[in-house]
Homo-oligomer: A and B are copies of this chain.
Amino acid sequence: MLTIGKLAKAGDISPDALRYYEREGLLAPASKTDSGYRLYGEDAVRRVRFIQHAQACGFTLAEIRELLHLRQSEHACCNDVRSRAVEKKLQLAAKIRAMQTISAALERLIAKCAYGTLPVDDCPILAALEQIDGSAQDDAP
């Protein structure tokens, strides 16, 4: 059994964040000592990792909580999870495209700006930022 500090170290996260996860219904301690200390099992480490990976995959904590609850519900099936993953991937793809558009625009701006010491009034980057056409579309859910 791990105390909150040990779990925090194992998961490279702060004890405060773990307590926050508990408040948010993402991770409850397996038990408590008589004095009220939280005790976690080894599965807590896996769950922390799950949360972190899912976060890295772009899921919010609310969505992760849903995934975790899905896992506990009897009627949920693999496809429920799959469809969420597919949706997330589509959102991610849209964001990547938008960021690539922006990156390309910045690239063009940087290329335009010769190494030199033009006064800032003549800076092509600032000028371009006023007129850019590259539209970055966001996903509207």
Contacts of A79 in B (CB 8 A): 113, 115-117
Please give, as numbers and ranges, the residues of chain B lying within 8 Å of A85 by CB-CB distance.
106, 109-110, 113, 125
Question: Is A89 an interface residue when CB atoms closer than 8 A count as contact?
Answer: yes
How far is A76 from B120 in the complex, measured between Cα atoms in Å? 6
Q: Select one of B77, B86, B103, B106 contacting A110, CB under 8 A.
A: B86
Give the contacting residue for A78; candidates B71, B86, B103, B125; CB below 8 A: B125
* Total number of A residues with any Cβ neighbor in B under 8 Å: 57
User: How far, in Å, is A66 (CB) from chain B's closest CB?
Assistant: 12
Stretch at the interface among A22-30, A34-42, A93-101: A93-101
Interface residues of A in 56-106 (CB under 8 A from B): 56-58, 67, 70-71, 73, 76-82, 85-86, 88-89, 92-93, 95-96, 98-100, 102-103, 105-106
Q: List 29 A-B contacts (CB under 8 A).
A: A50-B130, A53-B129, A53-B130, A56-B98, A56-B132, A56-B135, A56-B136, A57-B106, A67-B129, A71-B121, A71-B126, A76-B120, A77-B118, A78-B113, A78-B116, A78-B120, A78-B125, A81-B123, A81-B125, A82-B110, A85-B109, A85-B110, A85-B125, A89-B106, A93-B103, A95-B99, A96-B96, A96-B99, A99-B99
